[in-house]
Every structure is written in structure tokens, then in C-alpha cells.
């Protein structure tokens, strides 16, 4: 027992010394300034000593034998997850799975989820996936997966249960809305493939319509293809639909913004604890799509990269936003491997709009707010309607799109909203 405590204490001291001599400790370079590092080091040593005592007591007295690895992993899990809802400890298996998932397809339901107020919450169901077809909505709180409570779940715990072999069934129990209605869904897993960009020409209005479902590596080139089609058809305005878009690659969202914002316009800023985490991302484009008004549609399922695009186009006076308030997922997570190939995923910075507003947990408020209950297709059976209506006619039954068309056809109102939104700070890093 003494040997275990000695090993723990020695290891923790080594970690503490490494922390104490990180380069950032040199911030107080003035000789007259009190250096906070010794106090910080003493505090850490004191707290780590208490931690070592607790591990020793558990090892000696707990009702069953628990391995040191299990104890430390559990401690790391609790410590990191207590920081915020997006930070977490990844075991070796979870870290390897994360790397594998980023390389290819997977069987799942097509749900983008987050932990909000300690509850597993749907950001958005992806388009044309089992989740969307079954009626899962943004904001639904998943309280059980296959009758197993999600209380205390991390994101990886949820993903492990939601994903699986295509064709297998998953039962979800959700709580919906302020009335806290409980609903159950049984969904069949499928290979998730999302078409990033869908587009159409709205009949009779000469208004182009582009729907971006998420931001993938090929999204900017798909957008270019759509825009060439619209320019050939001489559109007079454009609707960019980002509803239900949970985000994706930040680089792709920046490149989409560059299609509409000339250099050196600010697209987004990141701010963290240290200077190296601060950055300002500006447009590098000298030629952009211009000469026509743009309306961007968002809702509570629009998050992360889609919030970056909406805010950047509005702050640079290139678009007016229609719809409902976005999700508010504006933080950057960095995966940092540990020596045993486990890892910690830590929130390292926050996104800020070009006007200096924070996105995280605030969201983007549209210029024109359409009540959520009205912003749906005007039919009781959407699938039946699609069998008898053209794609353009289906779009024209949507309240958000109708509001956008009315706005784009009223140039005076559009210009008033566009120019009335202040660009306060020009973005700072």
C-alpha cells in the first residue's frame, strides 16, 4: 500500500513539475512582478497529495479490488467532463474508434447530439436519414437508448449505443418541448451518407435556392456547381438554407463564406486562454458571387459551422437572416493524445462573429423571426405531398422560404435590414 502511494505521489510530482515549467509560466517577466508559479505549484502538490491519499484508501479498503488503471481512468473521466459539456476523457478504445470513424462510413441513425444542461440533446437529425424520417426534432432530449438511461452519459457513451450494424433496431425515449411530452421511437440503423449541397430554382420567382445539409470537404466545390447553374439561369436573388445543419468542417464553412465575402473581410475569430489559441480568419477571395441579395435561413438545428456562415454573411452586410434562433455551439475542441494512446478532448477556444459576438450558448438571432410551429411544410403528410408536387411547389409551402421570398422581392426592406445591422468591432483575435 505504501509502495502504491509512493508511486502515485512520485508520478504526480513529475506531472506537476512539467506543468510548472511550461513556457506560459513566463508571462510575468517583469522582475518587480510577483511570480504566481510557486503558489500554483504548491497548491497543485497539496491537492495531488489528497488525491494520492484517496487512491491509497480505496486500494486498501474498498469492498472489491479495483485496478489502478480503472481508478485513474475514472478520475480523469470525471475531472475532464466536469469542465464543460464538450470536454471529455477518451480511453484508448474510444480514441482509436474516433480516429476510425473519421476515415469512413458508419451505421447509425443520422443524429447530431450534444450534452446540454447535462442531458443528451439532439442538435439536428441529418437530412434523409432514419432519424429525420422517424420524426426526431432539434431540441429533443434523449433520456433512454434501448431502455438504458442516458443520465451521466458522455458523447462517446451515446455514440457507442446509437451506432451499430446497418439494419439493426434502436429504441429511443425522448422528452420533447416545454410540456415535457415523452415519446418513444424505434429506428433502423443505416449507412449514413449525407448529400451536402442540394439546390433548385424556385419556379416563377428567379430566386435560387441552395440547401447545405452539413459542411464536408467537397461542400465548397458543390456550392460552386450550384452557383454556376443559377448564374446561367440569371437569378435575381439567392436563398441559402442552413436549417438543421449541425456543422462539420470549419475549413469548409470558411471557404463557403469566401464565395460571398471579398478579402480582407473577417469571417470568424477564435479566442482562448492563451495567445496561441487566438486567431482571425479573413476572406482570401478577390472574386465573389455578388450583385444579388441573399437571405440565409437558420433554426434551432443550425449549429457550429452553419452559425459561422450565417453570422459572417450578415456582419459583412452580404445577407439577411430569416428563421429562428440557432443552437449556439460555438466552441473549438482539440483532441490531445496521452502516453498510453488514450486522449483528452478539451475545449480550447470559442468562436466569435466578425462583430465580436460570442456564438457559444448564445446562438444567432435572425433579423426576421418566423415562429417554429409555422416554419414547416403546409401539409399533414409531407411524403404524400412530395408525390404530387414538384420540388419547387414543395419549397413554396414552407413558411421560412415564403418569408425569404417576400423579403428578397422587397428591396427597400432588405436594404434597411442589411444596412441597419452594425459591424461593431471588425473582429478581434
Just list the catalytic residues: 304, 315, 329
Burial of 154 (0-12, 13-18, 19+ CB in 10 A): buried
3-state secondary structure of 110: coil
Nearest alpha-carbon partner for 389 in 378, 373, 405 = 378
Q: Based on DSSP, count helices (H) and strands (E) in the chain, helices before strands.
A: 13, 19
Residues in a beta bridge with 282: 266
What distance in Å separates the CA atoms of residue 36 and residue 160, rounded to the nearest whole number?
A: 43
Specify the pairing of strand 190-191 against strand 148-149.
unpaired
What distance in Å separates the CA atoms of residue 273 and residue 240, rounded to the nearest whole number?
A: 34
DSSP state of 249: -
Upstream peptide bond of 116 is cis (omega within 30 degrees of 0): no
In contact, 69 and 11? CB cutoff 8 Å: no
In contact, 299 and 243? CB cutoff 8 Å: yes
Cα angle value 395/304/301 (rounded, 5°): 40
First-to-last CA distance in the chain? 50
Q: Write phi, then psi, for 184 (nearest 5 degrees).
A: -120, 140
| CB neighbours of residue 374 within 10 Å | 13
What distance in Å separates the CA atoms of residue 94 and residue 342, rounded to the nearest whole number?
A: 8
Burial of 322 (0-12, 13-18, 19+ CB in 10 A): buried
Nearest alpha-carbon partner for 145 in 131, 132, 126 = 131
What distance in Å separates the CA atoms of residue 96 and residue 86, rounded to the nearest whole number?
A: 18
In contact, 165 and 107? CB cutoff 8 Å: yes
Which whole-number Å values give the CA distances from 39 to 23, 42, 49, 52, 181, in the listed order? 17, 5, 15, 20, 51
In contact, 303 and 334? CB cutoff 8 Å: no
* C-alpha of 359 from chain center: 11
DSSP state of 216: -
Amino acid at each position: 500500500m505504501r509502495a502504491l502511494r509512493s508511486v502515485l505521489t512520485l508520478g504526480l510530482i513529475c506531472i506537476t513539475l512539467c506543468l510548472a515549467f511550461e513556457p506560459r509560466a513566463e508571462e510575468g517577466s517583469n522582475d518587480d512582478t510577483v511570480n504566481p508559479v510557486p503558489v500554483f505549484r504548491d497548491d497543485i502538490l497539496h491537492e495531488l497529495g489528497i488525491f494520492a491519499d484517496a487512491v491509497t484508501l480505496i486500494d486498501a479498503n474498498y469492498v472489491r479490488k479495483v485496478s489502478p488503471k480503472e481508478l485513474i481512468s475514472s478520475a480523469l473521466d470525471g475531472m475532464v467532463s466536469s469542465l464543460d459539456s464538450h470536454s471529455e476523457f477518451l480511453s484508448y478504445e474510444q480514441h482509436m474508434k474516433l480516429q476510425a470513424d473519421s476515415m469512413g462510413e458508419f451505421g447509425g441513425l443520422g443524429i447530431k447530439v450534444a450534452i446540454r444542461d447535462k442531458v443528451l440533446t439532439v442538435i439536428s437529425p441529418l437530412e434523409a436519414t432514419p432519424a429525420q424520417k422517424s420524426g426526431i426534432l432539434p431540441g429533443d432530449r434523449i433520456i433512454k437508448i434501448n431502455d438504458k438511461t442516458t443520465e451521466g452519459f458522455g458523447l462517446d457513451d451515446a455514440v457507442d449505443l446509437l451506432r451499430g450494424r446497418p439494419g439493426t433496431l434502436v429504441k429511443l425515449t425522448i422528452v420533447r418541448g416545454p410540456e415535457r411530452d415523452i415519446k418513444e421511437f424505434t429506428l433502423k440503423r443505416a449507412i449514413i451518407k449525407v448529400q451536402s449541397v442540394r439546390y433548385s430554382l424556385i419556379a416563377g420567382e428567379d430566386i435560387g435556392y441552395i440547401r447545405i445539409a452539413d459542411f464536408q470537404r467537397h461542400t465548397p466545390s458543390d456550392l460552386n456547381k450550384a452557383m454556376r447553374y443559377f448564374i446561367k439561369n440569371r437569378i435575381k436573388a439567392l436563398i441559402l438554407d442552413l436549417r438543421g445543419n449541425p456543422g462539420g468542417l470549419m475549413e469548409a464553412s470558411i471557404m463557403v463564406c469566401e464565395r460571398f465575402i471579398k478579402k480582407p473581410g473577417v469571417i470568424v475569430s477564435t479566442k482562448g486562454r492563451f495567445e496561441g489559441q487566438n486567431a482571425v480568419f479573413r476572406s482570401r477571395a478577390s472574386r465573389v458571387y455578388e450583385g444579388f441579395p441573399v437571405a440565409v435561413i437558420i433554426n434551432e438545428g443550425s449549429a457550429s459551422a452553419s452559425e459561422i456562415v450565417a453570422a459572417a454573411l450578415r456582419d459583412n452586410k452580404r445577407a439577411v437572416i430569416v428563421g429562428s434562433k440557432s443552437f449556439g455551439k460555438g466552441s473549438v475542441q482539440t483532441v490531445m493524445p496521452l502516453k498510453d494512446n488514450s486522449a483528452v478532448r478539451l475545449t480550447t477556444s470559442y468562436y466569435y462573429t466578425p462583430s465580436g459576438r460570442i456564438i457559444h450558448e448564445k446562438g444567432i438571432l435572425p433579423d426576421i423571426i418566423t415562429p417554429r410551429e409555422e416554419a414547416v411544410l403546409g401539409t399533414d403528410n409531407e411524403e404524400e405531398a412530395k408525390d404530387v408536387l414538384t420540388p419547387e411547389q414543395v419549397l413554396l409551402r414552407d413558411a421560412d422560404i415564403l418569408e425569404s421570398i417576400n423579403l428578397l422581392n422587397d428591396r427597400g426592406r432588405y436594404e434597411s435590414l442589411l444596412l441597419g445591422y452594425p459591424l461593431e468591432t471588425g473582429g478581434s483575435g
